[in-house]
């Protein structure tokens, strides 16, 4: 088979694969629509979801996740988790979907930005980010749960945030916005702060200078980035409300959503830094000079001792054995004044053995000869 025939065969297989995937997506969307119509007819008080909304909720997350997987923003498990989170948030409320989308796109771009610099600072840096299912659900589990509760309370669809008319649903919308804004603020701070900050980070609990990459370290650039990240998500939510919500003219003003998103992003980043400083492991790999998040060979620390103590790192670990909480890294090396004088060796009878005098005129017992 020639190269031309091989290329034609690959294109044909790709075309057939896309047709099969599209057919499955349409079938799944129609099945969901039939189930919603059946439930609406049976219960009588449920608003059926249109087939176009079902189709959009299935097709768009598949396209976004596929693109993220190709660009190495997601691994296999992260792609599957992203499909679940994206589908639920899209079917619930388009404002939820656009906020999640802008958070994902901006975070992926910032993760790849200045990647060569980040490789020298972060021992766990991956090309493109490559988020797995754990990272996806850490950022998306709470919004997914809130989206499900929102659909139970209000049903799928977009509503204005107005506590006088829809109190519970409005709180759920703000809670979901706050969750996404916190995630965006923390991601923006961790991706922008270490690269643009000219001053070393300071530990949020003691305000001491620490190496770049230390859990709990903050900079003014990072805090400003977290504020901008939350504001970006808030602006996205606000613009989506303007497009899809019809009765905004008789509802409460929606612009405070922007300020709420910015404050949520800043507060989320501060809380995350505090938890990192108090609960997360931080070590210094002496072979590479980079900060690591797990103990291993050549790592000098126990729970931030190497990066928070004022004493210099004096030795490295061998065999991965962790240092004790009262190790020399935490207390600093002992000075000569800390060495205790050696007590005289007791004699067999339990009495102290007399010291031998160096004076030649003294006898064995130390008494002076006459």
Tokens representing residue 81 in the block: 């988790």
Determine the pLDDT at residue 318: 29
Measured CA angle at 161 (ends 160, 167), to 5 deg: 120
pLDDT digits (tens, 9 = 90+) for 313-337: 323 332 333 333 333 333 344 333 3
* pLDDT value at residue 336: 37
Band of pLDDT at residue 125, cut at 50, 70 and 90: low
Instruction: Return the top range by mean pLDDT from 22-26, 163-167, 341-345.
Output: 163-167
Q: What is the mean pLDDT of residues 138-159?
A: 89
Query: SS3 string of 31-63?
Result: HHHHHHHHHHHHHCCCCCCCHHHHHHHHHHHHH
pLDDT band at 353 (very low <50, low <70, confident <90, very high): low
Compute the distance between CA of residue 215 and CA of residue 275 in angstroms, rounded to an integer: 8
| Reported pTM | 0.70
Please tell me the distance from the alpha carbon of residue 216 to that of residue 279, in angstroms, as a whole number: 9
User: What is the distance between the alpha carbons of residues 142 and 175, in angstroms, rounded to a whole number?
Assistant: 9
Among 74, 142, 83, 134, smallest CA distance to 108 is for 74
pLDDT of residue 280: 77
Inform me whether the pLDDT recorded for 297 exceeds 90. Answer: no
Lowest mean pLDDT: which of 129-143, 250-264, 323-337? 323-337
Query: What's the pLDDT band for 339 if we cut at 50, 70, 90?
Result: very low
Q: Give the CA distances from residue 306 to residues 124, 315, 319, in Å, rounded to whole numbers and listed in that order.
A: 19, 10, 18
pLDDT digits over 159-217, tens only? Answer: 999 898 889 999 999 999 999 999 999 999 988 888 888 888 888 988 888 888 788 88
Residue with tokens 């002076």: 368
For 217, the enclosing helix (H) or strand (E) is strand 217-218
């Amino acid at each position: 088979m020639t190269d031309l025939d091989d290329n034609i065969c690959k294109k044909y297989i790709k075309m057939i694969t896309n047709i099969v995937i599209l057919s499955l997506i349409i079938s799944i969307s129609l099945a969901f629509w039939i189930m919603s119509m059946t439930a609406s007819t049976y219960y009588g008080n449920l608003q059926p979801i249109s087939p176009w909304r079902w189709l959009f909720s299935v097709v768009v997350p598949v396209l976004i996740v596929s693109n993220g997987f190709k660009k190495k923003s997601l691994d296999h498990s992260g792609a599957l988790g992203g499909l679940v989170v994206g589908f639920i948030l899209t079917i619930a409320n388009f404002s939820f979907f656009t906020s999640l989308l802008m958070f994902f796109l901006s975070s992926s771009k910032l993760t790849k930005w200045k990647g060569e610099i980040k490789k020298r600072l972060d021992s766990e840096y991956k090309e493109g980010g490559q988020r797995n299912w754990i990272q996806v659900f850490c950022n998306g589990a709470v919004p997914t749960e809130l989206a499900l509760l929102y659909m139970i309370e209000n049903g799928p669809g977009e509503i204005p945030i107005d506590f006088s008319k829809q109190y519970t649903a409005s709180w759920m919308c703000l809670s979901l916005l706050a969750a996404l804004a916190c995630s965006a603020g923390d991601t923006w701070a961790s991706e922008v702060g270490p690269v643009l900050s000219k001053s070393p980070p300071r530990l949020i609990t003691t305000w001491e200078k620490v190496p770049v990459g230390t859990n709990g370290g903050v900079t003014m650039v990072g805090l400003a980035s977290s504020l901008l990240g939350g504001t970006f998500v808030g602006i996205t939510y606000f613009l989506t409300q303007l497009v899809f919500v019809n009765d905004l003219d008789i509802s409460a003003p929606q612009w405070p959503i922007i300020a709420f998103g910015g404050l949520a992003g800043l507060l989320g980043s501060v809380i995350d830094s505090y938890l990192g400083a108090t609960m997360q492991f931080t070590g210094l790999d002496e072979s590479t000079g980079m900060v690591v998040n797990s103990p291993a060979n050549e790592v000098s620390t126990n729970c931030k001792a190497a990066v928070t103590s004022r004493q210099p790192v004096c030795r490295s670990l061998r065999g991965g054995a962790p240092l004790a909480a009262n190790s020399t890294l935490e207390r600093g090396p002992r000075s000569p004044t800390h060495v205790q004088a050696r007590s005289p060796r007791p004699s067999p009878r339990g009495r102290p053995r007399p010291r031998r005098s160096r004076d030649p005129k003294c006898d064995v017992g130390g008494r002076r000869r006459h």
